[in-house]
Amino acid sequence: MTTRNLTRFWEWGRKIICVGRNYADHAKELKNAIPTEPVLFLKTSSAYLREGSPIIVPAYSNNLHHEVEFGVVIGKAGTAIPQESAMDHVAGYVLCLDMTARDIQDECKSKGLPWTLAKAFNTSCPVSEFIPKDKIPDPGNINLWLKVNDQMRQNGNTSQMIFSIPYLINYISDFISLEEGDLILTGTPKGVSRVQEHDEIEAGIEGIISMSFKVERS
């Protein structure tokens, strides 16, 4: 596997681990408690989507939400990685959307069911170009934004995260070993809202990158 290209991690990376409720203002807007430990859920690799292809509203949902998130791409495998050396395992970053069928998620939560249908469907993880680590010297202080049809909906800073990137890498790798090509989605700031067929989502990391996706129905 010596030919794997980290800048195209979505073609071969095996894990997408997502953190929920990692910004206090977003936890509050969904009427969730502020977590005392990270809330983790999973997407699968078929959720990856690249610019040029549309986000598809799943047939079973009538309330698809956008969540703009800062993504961390793992470059070096590890288990029980200490916080102190966690950043040595990071190869770079990526801007992500954690597309969420909010109606289905609410139903799963109330029934005690797993979130798979709400979070892991095809096209639920649009990603930007890979951003090498040295382009973002301080990942704990970057501005993320998201617009729908040119209207600003989300605008936050990673300094508002409850659990930092090193904390998350340590917490996750204690029970899920990390591998090269794995992706961690670090949570979304407030402002999540519904998107519908024909909407255009544009999102960015201020001064670094932007991307846009059309929304279609299946």
**Interface residues toward Mg ion, by CB under 5 A:** 67, 98, 170, 174, 188
Taking the complex as a whole, the smallest distance from the CB of residue 90 to its own copies amounts, in Å, to 18
Query: What is the DSSP code (8-state) at residue 164?
Result: -
| Residue 204 · residue 144 · CB < 8 Å | yes
Q: Is the dihedral of CA 54, 55, 61, 66 positive or negative?
A: negative
6, 7, 29, 45: residue in contact with its own copies (rule CB under 8 A): 45
Considering only the stretches 115-123, 138-146, 151-159, 185-193, report the one whose residues sit in contact with its own copies under the rule CB under 8 A. 115-123
23, 70, 121, 130: residue in contact with its own copies (rule CB under 8 A): 121
CA 215 to chain centre: 18
Q: Is the dihedral of CA 158, 162, 164, 168 positive or negative?
A: negative
CA distances from 39 to 113, 115, 180 (A): 15, 12, 22
Structure tokens at 88: 């040595």
Q: Does 60 bind its own copies (CB under 8 A)?
A: yes
Is the CB of 12 or the CB of 167 nearer to its own copies?
Answer: 12
In 3D space, the residue among 173, 185, 213 whose CA is nearest the CA of residue 82 turns out to be 173
24, 30, 87, 117: residue in contact with its own copies (rule CB under 8 A): 117
- Binder of residue 40, out of Mg ion, its own copies, none (CB less than 5 to 8 A by kind): its own copies
Q: Which residues bind its own copies (CB under 8 A)?
A: 1, 12, 14-15, 17, 20, 39-42, 44-47, 58-60, 79, 108-110, 112-117, 119-122, 174-179
